Amino acid sequence: MTRRDFPKIHFYDQDFVDIYDKTWAWIQDCWQGEGEKSAMEGKFFSYPGSPVIQQIDAIFSSFFLVYSNRIYQAFPTLDIFYQHQEPSGAIRSAYAIENGEPVVESDNPEGLGLPLFAWAEFNLYHKSGNKKRVKDVIPILDKYNAWIDSVFKRPNGLYEVPLAATGMPNAPREEAAYPVDFNTMMAINVLYMSALADILNDKDASFQYKRQYFSLKTRLNTLMWDVDDGFYYDIDKDEKRIKVKTIAGYWPLLAEISNDDKAERIIDKLSDPTFFGAPHPFPTVAVSEPSFDETGNGFRGSVYPHLTFMVIKGLEKYQRWDLARECAIRHLYFVLDSMNPDGNHHKGNLWEAYLPLKEGPAQWPENPDFPRPQYLTYDALSTICLTIENIVGLFISLPRKTVDWIIPNLEIMGIENLSLKKNMITILSNKSGRGWEIHMESEKLYYFTINILGKKKKTLPIPSGKCSMLIDKL
């Protein structure tokens, strides 16, 4: 294949394939910078027309841009934030494109963003195998971590941050002093910092970060976990739990804070229609809460794709592949059905947020620009990332030379021409007269694990060139 192109996916529902292809075309509109009024170096990913570049865009876009076969680079947008680091270690959540100055709001005077750089970098390492980058970013992330500690960490070991810093400004949690999501994100941050240190074989740094992680884990489980309700809550200034069930209570799954019993209790609520088991997974507030609003009203019931993505990635940590896939498929159908009221999936928009109980974009009367159309920072997580990882079911690690294919049952699907560094791979399943067959093509050796949930799990070395395997023979 000479012409560089995006990887192709195969799936029995052509609408999923079409929206995946379209998303790649739309991403073209999100590249800004170079020449026009921009103080930033090079091109970067940002919402078209936005005067600022956002930390949340840099972090979440990296999860789908890594699948672009290097047509769109995932690193430069993150690097802009690292280049703007202040001597104190501070990195602000937004910078003006025109002059590169930090942009802060009165409700978040330090411009604190979601501290998820280490999570993004760990994912990038597994998709790019770039060890030198890990070495370069660790000192930056280390200083950033120390800055957050110095400004926001309190004697009880938790972080007291403004609600705006959680990215859920109007959620019904006004009394929260120690938000469960931000504190868990700090745990995710140090957990992945420890993993990045392991990549460099830095045992001491890895141990220090692990220690911070366990200290946060203990506090989250003692102060924020409610035994009676089986849920994680924000706490107020006096460390009293604020009993409002919001999607923020699911971040602990992603951080592996919950033991199996706790995880089961939280995960059960995802299928319960009185809590988060709404037709469109997952509303930002439990359906049974008095503050739940079926029009969405911002973070009072809307379904935000990046938060649905977070929950699905949390389910993976507890091996709940089947539920993760079912929710990803259901979510994608709502995304498709919301594109156009008359059911035409070939025109219309993706949206920043969706209604929880029926198809259509969410509403937020106080915010006239809401929801933004084609807000790809969130939407491409669904139409590209969840499609490859949870619907087609492929998990790839370049440094480990592994591809895992986790599926509940065999269907006609797969991926074609996915570039793994200098290696193009193709994995497709279809049914022939001899039964289910998987066709593979690769330029280099890698290890392939097929996991048909509850039926078969097998790891095989796949040589370079073309080959095929019959599932019944495994």
Q: How far apart are CA 270 and CA 349, in angstroms?
A: 27
Q: How far apart are CA 256 and CA 252, in angstroms?
A: 6
CB atoms within 10 A of CB 265: 15
Closest Cα partner for 346 from 19, 4, 6? 19
Buried b (16+ CB within 10 A) or exposed e, 371-406: bbebbbbbbbbbbbbbbbbbbbbbbbbbeebebbbb
Name the one residue in this structure whose structure tokens are 């699948």: 67
Q: Which residue ranges does the chain devote to CATH 1.50.10.10? A: 31-331
Local structure of residue 396 (DSSP, 8 states): E
Q: How far apart are CA 31 and CA 372, in angstroms?
A: 17
Banded model confidence at residue 345, pLDDT cuts 50, 70, 90: low
Fold of 31-331: Glycosyltransferase (1.50.10)
Q: Is the pLDDT at 458 greater than 80, yes or no?
A: yes
Q: Is the pLDDT at 2 greater than 50, yes or no?
A: no
Query: Tokens at residue 179, please?
Result: 């938000």
pLDDT in tens, 400-419: 889 999 988 888 899 999 98
Q: Which amino acid is at 331?
A: H
Query: Tokens at residue 151, please?
Result: 């400004």
In percent, how much of the chain has pLDDT > 70? 97
* pLDDT (average), residues 53-77: 95
Please report how many Cα atoms fall inside a 13 Å half-sphere around the Cα of residue 414, on the Cβ side: 18
In the beta sheet, which residues pair with residue 439?
Answer: 428, 468
Global pTM value: 0.95
What does the mean pLDDT of the chain come to? 93
DSSP string covering 66-113, please?
A: TTSTTSS-SHHHHHHHHHT--TTS---SEEETTT--B--BTTBTT---
Q: Is the pLDDT at 341 greater than 70, yes or no?
A: no
Q: How far apart are CA 416 and CA 399, in angstroms?
A: 21
